[in-house]
Structure 1
Amino acid sequence: MKALKQLHGKAKLQYLWDYYKLPFIIICIVLYILVYNIHGQLVKKTTVLSIAFINVNMSESLSQHLTSDFLDFEHLSAKKNEICTYDNLLIQENPDSENLEYAYASSTRLLAAIDAKKIDLVFMNREAMEQLNKKGYLSDSINVSDFPLLKNAKFDGDIYVGIIKNAPHKDECLKYLDFIKKTAPET
């Protein structure tokens, strides 16, 4: 300690660094990990619902109605809650289809998400509904083409919403169905 008291300026800093750099580095690492974890917990959003769009393309405004507006409908903060979406998924059984590789990749992604319990609801056309029903993935599905929110969307054919059997948010699925049944698009 006498040596430290006799040093001044840069020499004192160099002495401290030479003898205390390992504890200093360890403290900095621990502080970084703590701040990183606390920040992650503060900004982490809760997934309220996960929705997949299969063989249907939603416009940006309709997608906004189907996601953000549901949070408003349920009086949930968009800063703390989110609806995850799986967009542009394609299911086809026709081996002669020009989109077969994309359909295979989409099916793999969809089935992995279903098996991981990461999808609650699916918006789909009749072909996708028949495929998912045949494989036993849907617990229920309904035609929503005439619901006010979807009526003027100009889809090719009917649109169905299905609840996945192993959906992690089944209560929210029912609230969501009520939402799309009662909600009309803004004009």
Structure 2
Amino acid sequence: MTPYEDKTIKDTMREEGRKLKDMNGKDKLWYIWEYYKIPIISVVVAIFLIFSIGSAVYNNRFETALNCVILNSQLTSQTTSPDDYFDKDFRSYINLPEDTKIEVNYSMSLSFDESAMSDFTYAELAKLSAMITSKELDVMIARKDSIDHFGKMEGYMDLKKLLSPQEYEKVKDKLYFVTAQETGEKMAVGIEIDKEDFEKKTGLLVDGPILSVMVNSTHTDTALGLIRYMFGL
């Protein structure tokens, strides 16, 4: 039997405490990491897993009614919140229950200028493309360059088919058209938003914002509700 085998946990803790007490701060950190790194790493991993599982379980309780991305925006107000406009007020407008999510991402930026492309913009484009392909995106609000990029690939719904004739007539002067590369068809893929009014209501500055509905949206009813809400239809 070794001298350590008949020690109690309490004795071991006392001995470890005496060792640490005689060390300076740097030596303490080295000693703790050298001898206890496996338990420390195990605890950190366990906490991360518990948090991840808990977060996933919590989020899965809520059904998503709309997923919207606002590209190349700048938050200019400390008092006006885009979450209030798109979630709180819009939710009330369509009488959406609280256990249903409206997701609005206004942190993404894209550029299609080759000289301005970077690893970050390539990553953002890949992320957005993945969202579109997996049908996770319903509405895009963006500048003309972004709308043109996806519109040429027929990535948006033709608003003439989505809106009623009366609604189409009301917004026809604000419609934005893009010609599809493959078919050559000119389609109304977006509605131009008043820049100043949008900034006033959301606190977000976007250069020439246009609203478009993704062609593979799984929440077209809510997307249509957002158009009616934003343009007073």
TM-score (norm. length: structure 1): 0.66
> How many pairs were matched up?
144
Within the alignment, does 1:175 sit opposite 2:225 as a pair? yes
Matched, 1:163 2:182: no
Contact 1:123–1:161 (8 Å) recurs in 2:
yes
- 1:11-67 Cα shifts (integer Å, max 9, x gaps): xxxxxxxxxxxxxxxxxxxxxxxxx9xxx5897111010001112235661332122
Question: What letter matches 1:163 in structure 2?
Answer: V
Decide whether the 8 Å contact of 1:56 with 1:125 is kept in 2: no
Q: Decide whether aligned partners of structure 1 residues 43 and 52 sit closer, same or farther in structure 2, where only a CA change above 3 A counts.
A: closer
Find the counterpart in structure 2 of residue 55 from structure 1. 72
Structure 2 residues not aligned, in runs of 5+: 1-52, 158-188
Give the deviation of 1:77 after TM superposition: 2.2
Note if 1:123 corresponds to 2:144: no
2:108 is matched with which residue? 89
| Structure-2-length-normalised TM-score | 0.54
Q: Does 1:100 align with 2:113?
A: no
Paired residue for 1:71?
A: 91
Give the percent of matched residue pairs that are identical in Structure 1 and Structure 2: 15
**Hey, what's the Cα distance between the residues in 1 that align with 2:60 and 2:206?**
39
Q: Which runs of 4+ in 1 moved over 4 A?
A: 40-43, 146-154
Q: Distance in 2 between matches of 1:54 and 1:42?
A: 24
The amino acid of 2:83's aligned partner reads S
Structure 2: how far apart are the matches of 1:173 and 1:81?
15
For the structure 1 residues 173 and 58, does the alpha-carbon distance in structure 2 shift closer, same or farther, using more than 3 Å as the test? farther
- Whether the 8 Å CA contact 1:54–1:90 is kept in 2: the answer is yes
Match of 1:46 in 2: 63
Superposition CA RMSD, Å: 2.9
In structure 2, relative to structure 1, the CA distance for the partners of 1:55 and 1:135 (3 Å cut) is farther
| Long gaps (5+) in structure 1 | 1-35
Partner AA of 2:145 in structure 1: E
**Cα–Cα, structure 1 residues 111 and 43, in superposed 2: closer, same or farther, change >3 Å?**
closer
Q: Which moved more, 1:54-63 or 1:104-113?
A: 54-63
Match of 1:143 among 192, 200, 203: 192
**In the TM superposition, what is the alpha-carbon distance from 1:151 to its structure 2 partner?**
5.7
Residues 54 and 89 in structure 1, CA contact (< 8 A), matched pair in contact too: yes
Q: Is the 8 A contact 1:89 1:103 kept in 2?
A: no
